[in-house]
Amino acid sequence: MVGGHELDNIFYPKSVAVLGVSDSRQRVGYNLFESLLQGGFPGSLYPVHPRLETVLGRRVYHSLAEIPEKVDLALLALNERATLAALEECGEKGVKGAVCVAGGYREVGEAGAALEEELRAIARRYGIGLIGPNTLGLINNDADLYATFYPLRLPKGPVSFISQSGGMGLTFMHRAADAGLGLNKWVGVGNRSTFEFADYLAYFGQDPTTKVIGIFLEGTEGAARMVRVAAAIAKPVVVYKVGRGEVTDYASLTHTGTLAGSYRVYRDIFRQFGLYAVESVAQMVAALKALSLAPLPQGNRVGIMTHTAGPSIVAADELLSRGCSLPPLAAATLEAIERLTGPSPPFVLKNPLDVAGLGFAAEAYGQYLELVAQDPGVDLVLAIYCEHKNWRFPSRELVQAKERAGKPIVACYASRDEFLEEERKLLEHHGIPLFGTPEEAAWGAAALVAWAERLRRKAK
């Protein structure tokens, strides 16, 4: 089993070399080096190329041996055969971490598999921790380390992500950033020559800056160890598993050299070991966001507060299909609603509570919301509100209700993103995740319920 120390050297290097750096924007080596610069890496950077003198204003070294100082991490921007010689050079230099972005290994067949075995043998001989091959790279936002060939800057936060696909990893990162979900660490596992999913899980599991973990999974021969490690760590693990048929199974094999395996078997195993399974990037982002921000509910009973019925019906469907319940409101709550509204209220007294036009004003919405939140049969509140030019969002009221009731609140504001930035800052600063659709809000609420239930089971 690979220990955390090897990965710590890779995620927290003091010096990084890029072998195969280029002065062309069209080349991977250029983009790897630009990514490091744009990301603001504070350590020493060493671009390496046998003929170039400068790249992006930095001196280029003609070989790894020419670098006078110790190199902790090497990024290999070379083809599959040149990478073998470069990794040997890294071993001779004493480099203990490397990222191999080249493809052309076991994912292409027997000849590639033989090359990958040579690569693995070199890494073993010199004790090099190798990420890849066939990977986009890695990001450690906690250390301003952007070691990918897609130059980015992403919001910082408590979520770490393990991806078996560069493209799906990028999709997650962009959607997470749009949702205001901050990234801590991200790694593209590639062909997993020296590090398996379980190694990254164990590392993120003990990482003090990681609060929740996401995985995009095609397939792995190490599934048994992966789920055992996930079950042992005290952090939520959310998994998006693809590969549900023969066509996608073959696609996985030619992508990272791994058969996807039975989707149904994977889902059963995830359930048994307490991993939370999702079926899209949107569900992944919603679950991770809620788990990273909100306190956990005491049970699965959700109260829905709204002034418009349709979104609450959508949310109710999603919640009920994911193990949540929608209990009737207590008699004392119904009496309090009647006192607030007056006799014969113009809406049905039930959960979801749709107060229609009486909830347009933020102050009135907040009064009804507090009654739902204070109900003894409600563990979590999902609050739905639609943006309007002449009525403000009830964000202050949501914060107040959460603090007074001591229960988690998940918010759904039907609005364009441009109107939600300030609302998101206020709500999420106070532990209330904000979503733009009822489906996303329900997915986030259901993830909170599921993780809380898992912790209760483990405590028994």
Token pair recorded at residue 165: 């696909």
**Sheet strands (E) in 154-274:** 156-163, 183-188, 212-217, 237-241
Residues 213 and 169: beta-carbon distance below 8 Å: no
CATH 3.40.50.720 domain extents, the chain: 1-141
Quick check: bond before 13 cis, omega within 30? Answer: no
Residues 78 and 20: beta-carbon distance below 8 Å: yes
pLDDT of residue 259: 43
- Beta partners for 137? 148
CATH 3.40.50.261 domain extents, the chain: 154-293, 295-459
Residues 21 and 30: beta-carbon distance below 8 Å: yes
Under 8 Å CB-to-CB from 141, ≥6 apart: which residues?
154, 156, 157, 182, 183, 184, 185, 186
Number of other CB atoms surrounding residue 374 within 10 Å:
19
pLDDT of residue 257: 42
Distance CA 318, CA 331 (A): 26
DSSP assignment string, 353-389: EE-GGGGSSHHHHHHHHHHHHH-TT-SEEEEEEE-BT
Residues 203 and 1: beta-carbon distance below 8 Å: no
Distance CA 339, CA 192 (A): 63
Which fold, 154-293?
Answer: Rossmann fold (3.40.50)
pLDDT of residue 375: 98
Q: Which CATH number fits domain 1-141: 3.40.50.720, 3.40.50.20, 2.60.40.420, 3.40.50.2300?
A: 3.40.50.720
Q: How many helices (H) and strands (E) does the chain have?
A: 16, 19
User: Each residue of 340-350: pLDDT tens digit?
Assistant: 997 777 788 89
Instruction: State which amino acid sits at residue 424.
Output: R
Q: Using alpha carbons, list the distances in angstroms from residue 433 to 29, 424, 450.
A: 39, 8, 16
pLDDT of residue 245: 59
Distance CA 266, CA 256 (A): 18
- Degrees, nearest 5: CA angle 104-154-40: 85
Number of other CB atoms surrounding residue 416 within 10 Å:
9
Query: Could you give the residue ranges of the DSSP H alpha helices within 148-245?
Result: 166-178, 197-206, 223-232
pLDDT tens for each residue of the chain, 460 residues long? 345 678 999 999 999 999 999 999 999 999 999 999 999 999 999 999 999 999 999 999 999 999 999 999 999 999 999 999 999 999 999 999 999 999 888 888 899 999 999 999 999 999 999 999 999 999 999 999 999 999 999 999 999 999 999 999 999 999 999 999 999 999 999 999 999 999 999 999 999 999 999 999 998 888 899 999 999 999 999 999 997 655 444 444 444 445 445 677 888 899 999 999 999 999 999 999 999 999 999 999 999 999 999 999 999 999 999 999 999 999 999 999 999 997 777 788 899 999 999 999 999 999 999 999 999 999 999 999 999 999 999 999 999 999 999 999 999 999 998 899 999 999 999 999 999 999 999 999 999 999 999 999 988 7
Distance CA 71, CA 45 (A): 9
Which fold, 295-459?
Answer: Rossmann fold (3.40.50)
User: Each residue of 275-323: pLDDT tens digit?
Assistant: 999 999 999 999 999 999 999 999 999 999 999 999 999 999 999 999 9
